[in-house]
Chain A
Amino acid sequence: MKLTRRHTLMLAAGSAVAALLPMRAAAAAEEAIAAFTGGADVGSEGITLTAPEIAENGNTVPISVSAPGAEAIIIIAAGNPEPGVATFNFGPLAAAQAGSTRIRLAGTQDVVAIARMPDGSFVQASREVKVTIGGCGG
């Protein structure tokens, strides 16, 4: 548990803000996905997204994605006020179509990766990453 006076206030404020976020954030995530896929159907084979089940620190969450053969991969943090995280573009000489980065998550949410394949199709993987107060396990 976060229990200094300062953290208490920060968290209390954070939870109040979080309550307002999901609707707006979800809409922004859908927009970002639609802009990338152009509304095409999205499959689920051939893409691997690695992310922790529970973030050790919501301010810097390591994630990695791999989609062999992809032309481009976008990463979306569906619950963030600005859901766009990164776009990886791969040229014809790229040895591997994979990338990793660290992202900041406003709260528990789905992290989504979508890859555009050379034939114009799209594949998607998503992982729920939990951001918790923690501190009472044992």
Chain B
Amino acid sequence: MISRRDFLQASMAASAIVGASGFGNWGRLAAQQSLSQSDLLQFDTFGNVSLIHITDIHAQLKPIWFREPEINLGVGSNKGHVPHITGADFRKLYGIADGSASHYALSYDDFTALGQAYGQMGGMDRVATVVNSIRAERPDALLLDGGDTWHGSYTCYHTEGQDVVNIMNLLKPDAMTFHWEFTLGSDRVRDIVNNLPFAALGQNIFDAEWDEPAEDFAPYKFFERGGVKIAVIGQAFPYMPIANPGWMFPEYSFGIRDQRMQEMVDEVRGQGAELVVCLSHNGFDVDKKMAERVTGIDVILSGHTHDALPEPVLVGETIIVASGSNGKFVSRVDLDVRDGRMMGFRHKLIPIFSDVITPDADVAAAIDAERAPFLDDLTEVIGKTADDTLLYRRGNFNGSWDDLICEALIEERDADISLSPGVRWGPSIMPDQDITREDIWNVTSMTYPNAYRTEMTGEFIHTIMEDVADNLFNTDPYYQQGGDMVRVGGMGYRIDVSKPIGERISDLTLPRTGEAIDPSKTYVVAGWASVNEGTEGPPIWDVVENHIRKKGTVSVAPNTSVTVAGA
């Protein structure tokens, strides 16, 4: 159904932003002159339907630095397939020139040097410009938000999501699905959802007591666009009460529920849907498996795992589109729907270069108005990075931001070992740059921030590590929860990602002394983001702020505590 030519058109669109190479000699101005807003937005309108996808914004209203992962390992049948390809291999796969804008936006290496040339990315005012431009060409384009929107910043925490809700409403989305939103608590979620001027979707959001579809969220919504009857089916994050604190939303149950997804597809087809779109927060590998098992979905707009792919991935007759995170990208997908079926598509992953795309003035003013009451707190400088230290998080194992947080936990909470959750959100900080309170909140903000201090046996620490590793490296994607490996401070380990649960983690050691962790001995462990109700301790952002303030200038040495095998 989808021809090779359509795929070439997709890759052509992606390569349209590839500029010249030789970043080392390029000043910022020269590099950006090779990019223009019209180039970034250039798209030959195709077919009769346009979809605009944005996902995993994590409340980043302003432009940010965001380094993509160096290590993103696939296991089982996904080993060596996108999105588990990074760096030079990723660029080779998509024909991206070294030193190009796409290199900077989509891969990790030379991030500091290229960042100087190409500048920050994202900003919802820039995203508004892109959305408006697409709507100028296709007035009835559908804007679909994949969720993880009302979480992840200082202002989002203090307004319980209202700042992001207000800004997103200005962009006029047509539908949304959910994940971290639920950590606002179910009362607050219902409070917002009941007033949303667009559809709140999740076919897998159930009432926990009766195991029936929850009344607050519709499974799907119909849209009539370009003469085409379109059904958008929502798929919320399946493992909400496992990966996040279930006690914050006890009346809801989730799960993949792909049998019900098939029923919903059949139901909307029965009602005359000519195009079926799934707005998903499953994560990429889960979406691939779901596309193999559920027939009749034309397009899956995939979120959760923060992957940015320049081309859709085809599974059977379903295309899967991954649009990155933190406002770095917007995907545009034009579709030709005729005779009740999708006949072809054209796709572009539009990178939001914040110095190239003109901010929408109204949205820019609205963002500043949301921030104004908090501006003094947001902009207070706590410390700075050394000129050899880039702070970043993304990657399967410890990032430098996590190493700094783990160090803060050990020193501020007087612990032997520290644990930090392997979340995929959290922007980067360039070397020799001020660290503000806002920057610290961008990597720590959540509604269960307490930094606990507890005792654990060596055996129990091993059990935790094995459990988390299986959530990431189980060969069946349906058993993966989509985060990265728990970050560890004060302890080294070896992991063989190809082994089953119970056999992956070995060689637990205390690098300070070279001593092996004793299974029967008790260690003092500090950490944060416990899913348990009643966890005690200061909020993590205070722990990190105190630590950075004491240090003044922070320098993080490259992490050598994790040895990876079986990749």
Q: Are B246 and A56 in contact (CB under 8 A)?
A: yes
Cβ 8 A contact of A12, one of B238, B255, B457, B471: B457
Within 8 A of B (CB), among A47-93: 50, 52-57, 62
B198 at interface by CB-CB < 8 Å: no
- Closest A residue by C-beta to B468: A136
B46 at interface by CB-CB < 8 Å: no
Residues of A contacting B419 with CB < 8 Å?
A: 1
Q: Are A132 and B471 in contact (CB under 8 A)?
A: yes
Within 8 A of A (CB), among B441-484: 452, 454-457, 459-460, 463-464, 467-468, 470-471, 476, 478-479, 481-483
Residues of B contacting A133 with CB < 8 Å?
A: 463-464, 467-468
Q: Are B479 and A12 in contact (CB under 8 A)?
A: no
Given contacts A2-B532, A3-B530, A53-B479, contact A136 B259 (CB under 8 A): no
CA–CA, A133 and B530, complex, Å? 11
Given contacts A1-B464, A11-B460, A15-B463, contact A134 B455 (CB under 8 A): no
Q: Are B254 and A3 in contact (CB under 8 A)?
A: no
Cβ 8 A contact of B471, one of A3, A56, A137: A137
Cβ 8 A contact of B531, one of A8, A108, A135: A135
Given contacts A3-B535, A54-B242, contact A137 B482 (CB under 8 A): yes
Q: Are A54 and B454 in contact (CB under 8 A)?
A: no
B243 at interface by CB-CB < 8 Å: yes
Q: Are A4 and B532 in contact (CB under 8 A)?
A: yes
- Closest B residue by C-beta to A2: B532
Within 8 A of A (CB), among B416-443: 419, 421-425
Q: Are B425 and A134 in contact (CB under 8 A)?
A: no
B7 at interface by CB-CB < 8 Å: no
B534 at interface by CB-CB < 8 Å: yes
Min C-beta distance of A20 to chain B, whole Å: 14
Q: Are B478 and A138 in contact (CB under 8 A)?
A: no
- Closest A residue by C-beta to B206: A62
Min C-beta distance of A19 to chain B, whole Å: 10
CA–CA, A50 and B211, complex, Å? 12
Residues of B contacting A8 with CB < 8 Å?
A: 454-456, 460
Within 8 A of A (CB), among B178-206: 180
- Closest B residue by C-beta to A7: B532
Min C-beta distance of B532 to chain A, whole Å: 5
B132 at interface by CB-CB < 8 Å: no
Q: Are B486 and A136 in contact (CB under 8 A)?
A: yes
Residues of B contacting A108 with CB < 8 Å?
A: 501
Residues of A contacting B456 with CB < 8 Å?
A: 8, 12
- Closest A residue by C-beta to B528: A3
- Closest A residue by C-beta to B210: A62
Residues of A contacting B254 with CB < 8 Å?
A: 56
CA–CA, A119 and B476, complex, Å? 36
Residues of A contacting B422 with CB < 8 Å?
A: 136-138
Min C-beta distance of A70 to chain B, whole Å: 19
Query: 10 interchain pairs (CB within 8 A)?
Result: A2-B530, A8-B454, A8-B456, A15-B460, A54-B242, A108-B501, A135-B244, A136-B486, A137-B239, A138-B425
Query: Which 8 residue pairs are nearest across A and B when measured between Cβ atoms?
Result: A137-B243, A138-B423, A137-B481, A134-B242, A137-B483, A135-B531, A3-B530, A56-B241
- Supply 16 further A-B pairs (C-beta < 8 A) apart from A3-B530, A136-B243: A1-B464, A1-B486, A2-B532, A3-B454, A4-B534, A4-B535, A8-B456, A11-B460, A53-B238, A53-B255, A53-B479, A56-B253, A57-B246, A134-B239, A135-B244, A138-B425
